[in-house]
Amino acid sequence: MAVIQHTPHEDLPPPVSQTGVIGWLRQNLFSSWLNSLLTLLAAYIVWKTLMPLIDWAFIKADWIGTSREDCSSGGACWVFVSVRFKQFMYGLYPEAEQWRINLMAILFVLLMIPMFIKNFPWKKWLGMFILFGFPIIGYYLLSGGAFGLEHIETSLWGGLTLTLVLAAVGIVAALPLGILLALGRRSKMPIVRALSVAFIELWRGVPLITVLFMASVMLPLFLPEGAQFDKLLRALIGIVLFQSAYMAEVVRGGLQAIPKGQYEAAEALGLSYWKSMGLIILPQALKLVIPGIVNTFIALFKDTTLVLIIGLFDLLAMIQSATQDTKWLGFSIEGYVFAAVTFWIFCFGMSRYSQALERKLHTGH
Amino acid sequence: MNHKAVISATALAAAMTFSTASHAGATLDAVKEKGHVQCGVTTGLAGFSQSNDKGVWTGIDVDMCRAVAAAVFGDAGKVKFTPLTAKERFTALQSGEIDMLSRNTTWTLTRDSNLGLNFAGVNYYDGQGFLVSKDLGVKSATELDGAAICIQAGTTTELNLADYFRSKGMKYTPITFDRSEETIKAFEAGRCDVLTSDQSQLYALRIQLAKPESAIVLPEVVSKEPLGPVVRNGDEDWFKIVRWSLSAMLNAEELGISSANIDDLKESSTNPNVRRLIGLEGIKGQGLGLPDDWAYSIVKQVGNYSEVFERNVGKGSALGISRGLNALWADGGIQYAPPIR
């Protein structure tokens, strides 16, 4: 008896109407007459709103030139931004010294690169250096007054540089302070706990704008004459204290999410309080609240623009000030769009970084 | 609650007295020691104080600071600027952070008497006015009954407007905005018939229209806004230096002395008034504790009042504001300075 080998016919490719672009369109956009109608309507709205925007921002825009006379096409006048670009980046920092800011930025990027390399051996030390050593180098680079560098007053710092300084100092200083406050709030020692609660609730109870006003308007009146200290420093202290209160609550959320068994296990191992926190509880808690922490950072980054109400020239204030130049009156929209794009780039970057960090640290159950 | 308020008010008052008292008579010495005048200006206001793309400050208020620096040091460049918002300007002066405030500040009784400040003069007479579209065909503010009016919220402008319309028995619909950019955009889009603000600002806003010539500033002024430099109470010497720096610029214009011709006049003029201002005869800088050529330095390096005005807000600038009230008394304005003799 002959063995009949049954060979199934090769699979037919799915019908054209279900694959590729057409299939995708049919499935997602034109699956029923109602969906088709909505798709067309949405496309029409996008077309109507997006086209004028593209037209304004790119097609009719002026890019090259030096004065407002070069903006004759009727679209966006990016000349304004390009003429003022250096000021938007560096503020009123003296032009001859701007290399210091550039050097600092390059140094930071170079230091950060190894942090993204998977098996870089000295990551821990490098991280420590970025957190504690780099700010000192950065301070001397920006402020000068030592190592033969000319002293640059903080009133001349401005633009994106100042925004980044405010955000970076706020972030770097608020996290450890916030962790301490969160631990304090969950402490069994009544005084520590009461103080932490009082601190957190006080700073969370006032808006940042009030804190900045107090720092810039009220504080100088109470200081003895001649003891006035730098406006930027006052604002920074305000921001750090304010931010640490929020950070404390985020971290506390993480601490509460750790099962009691972990605490007990740490105690059973005979670890001291700080060791059990540092080795067992905090690494887990902080990992849990990465989204919350980054969220706070992004909020802080955007909140730094509030310093414009106390006369510090961050990116937004610098742009607003530039729109008041009689030579460039009336180009505020271009300025604001530039500010929006810049802020979006930084905030989006932070959010992507946090997602990457979450994936990397995800050890799952 | 009440008790607390009293305590904090007392502390505040004490702090203020303390900071003003410790300064008496010492500002000039402190300024000389520092080597520069620390001057409070706006964070950016077209024509008054603005920084260009090189970070150089210009404006009519800025030139007031430079004039004082020129008088004190013989060098108009020896001045540093502190950009201040409206809310912190007086604190900055009271706490000694700045030596003088030249920041588009209206001279009022409250400020002069309550805040421990002294207004050293008026370098710009401003007043609230109206900007209307030419198509409206309105020639005077009295024809504005029933108009929709764009205002910036939270300013005295709102109050002045209400007062004016009530006194004329007219009605209006206010449309308020937070920032000047929004106000002018709304005006351009036709959401209101009239835009009201200080006249100097109306000119700055008008430039931002697509067709600036399509709108006109009405002649009526509904409030008095004398703007001038401010110093702390309790230092008469410094107060006089600022006052006379302004007077020197006005006198120079009156006498026809400008930065261009002052060197020639120094050589050739026989007019005693001119010679006194240049510092060749008379009391010179003695009474003020300044170098003899203090007024010469101001005019040479900063210019007379007319030069300062035209360069920053007048014909030489995009604003193109006419002199109006700010013309010299001899030309129909009210700018009048005591004589240097």
For residue A284, the one-letter residue type is Q
Residue-level pLDDT at A364: 62
Instruction: Answer for the pair A291, A354: CB distance below 8 angstroms, yes or no.
Output: yes
Cβ B97–A224 below 8 Å, yes or no? Answer: no
Contact assignment for A325 to B51 by CB distance below 8 Å: yes
Contact across the interface for A309 and B85, Cβ inside 8 Å: yes
B223 in helix, strand or coil?
A: coil
Q: Residue A156 pairs with which residues in a beta bridge?
A: none
How far apart are alpha carbons B91 and B109 in whole angstroms? 18
**What are the structural domain ranges in chain B?**
2-125+227-331, 128-223
pLDDT for residue B154: 62
In which region does residue B134 sit, left (phi positive, over 0), alpha (psi from -120 to 50) or beta (all else)?
alpha
- Quick check: helix, strand or coil at residue A313? coil
Percent of chain A with pLDDT over 90: 42
Residues composing chain A: 365
Structure tokens at B79: 């001045």
Q: What digits encode the pLDDT tens for the residues B44-80?
A: 888 999 988 888 999 999 999 999 999 999 999 999 9
Q: Which of the pair, B107 or A30, is modelled with greater confidence?
A: B107
Shortest distance, CA A282 to any CA of chain B (angstroms): 42
Dihedral sign for Cα atoms in the order A130, A352, A167, A237: negative
What is A78-93+152-361's CATH number? 1.10.3720.10
* Residue of B50, B53, B204 lying closest to A87 (CB–CB): B53
The torsion region of residue B211 among left (phi > 0), alpha (psi -120 to 50) and beta comes to beta
Name which of B7, B27, B51 to mutate to probe chain A: the one with the most chain A Cβ atoms within 10 A of its Cβ.
B51
* One-letter amino acid for residue A230 of the chain: D
Q: Is the pLDDT of residue B34 over 50?
A: yes
Report the candidate in A212, A84, A91, A208 with the shortest Cα–Cα distance to residue A153. A91
CA A45 to chain centre: 32
Cβ contacts (< 8 Å) between A332 and chain B: which residues?
181
The predicted model gives A28-49 an average pLDDT of: 90
Say what percent of chain B tops pLDDT 70: 92
* B2-125+227-331 shares its CATH topology with B128-223: yes
List phi, psi (to 5°) of B161.
-60, -45
Structure-block tokens of residue B165 = 């319309």
pLDDT of res. A1: 60
Of A91, A217, A321, which has the smallest distance from its Cβ to B88's Cβ?
A217
What is the rounded CA–CA span in Å between residue B261 and residue B184? 41
**Cβ atoms A259, A196 nearer than 8 A:** no
**CA distance linking residue B147 with residue B222, whole number of Å:** 16
Give the ipTM. Answer: 0.81
Q: Which of B46, B96, B319 shows the shortest C-beta gap to A225?
A: B96
Which residue type does B292 have?
A: D
Q: Domain B128-223: which topology? A: D-Maltodextrin-Binding Protein; domain 2 (3.40.190)
Asked if A220 and B92 count as a contact pair (C-beta separation under 8 A), the reply is: yes
Tokens of B277: 């201002």
Q: How far apart are CA A158 and CA B55, in angstroms?
A: 11
Which burial class, exposed, middle or buried, applies to B63 when counting CB atoms under 10 A from its CB (0-12, 13-18, 19+)? buried
What average pLDDT score do residues A55-67 get?
86
- State the nearest Cα–Cα gap between B42 and chain A, in angstroms: 9
Which tokens sit at A199?
A: 């601190």
Task: List B226's β-bridge partners, or say none.
Answer: B125
Q: Which residues of B touch A308 (CB under 8 A)?
A: 43, 85
Q: CATH homologous superfamily of domain B2-125+227-331?
A: Periplasmic binding protein-like II (3.40.190.10)
The C-alpha angle with vertex B327 and arms to B322 and B330, in degrees rounded to 5, equals 145
Q: Per residue in B244-296, pLDDT tens?
A: 999 999 999 999 999 999 999 999 999 999 999 999 998 888 889 999 999 99
- Residue B254 identity (one-letter amino acid): E
Mutate to test the interface with B, among A77, A157, A221 (most CBs of B within 10 A): A221
Q: Tell me which amino acid residue A133 is.
A: G
Pairing of strands B147-152, B100-101: unpaired
Enumerate the residues of chain A whose CB falls inside 8 A of the CB of residue B317. 326
Burial-class residue A360 by CB neighbours within 10 Å (0-12, 13-18, 19+).
Answer: exposed
Instruction: Please indicate if any CB of chain B lies within 8 Å of the CB of A308.
Output: yes
Q: Rounded to an integer, what distance in angstroms lies between the CA atom of residue B9 and that of residue A221?
A: 12
Query: Would the CB atoms of B44 and A87 count as touching at under 8 Å?
Result: no
- Subunit contact B84:A228, Cβ cutoff 8 A: no
Mean pLDDT of B216-245: 92
At A108-123, the pLDDT tens digits run 888 888 877 777 788 7
Q: Which of residues 208-247 of A touch B (CB under 8 A)?
A: 213, 216-218, 220-226, 228, 231
Gap between the Cα atoms of A312 and B85, Å rounded = 9
Any B CB within 8 A of A161 CB: no
Provide the pLDDT for residue B53. 83
B13: pLDDT strictly greater than 80: no
Higher-confidence position of A337 and A356: A337
If one counts every other C-beta atom within 10 angstroms of the C-beta of residue A6, the result is 5
Which residue does chain B place closest to A316, by CA atoms? Answer: B43
Six-digit token pair at B204?
A: 């700055």
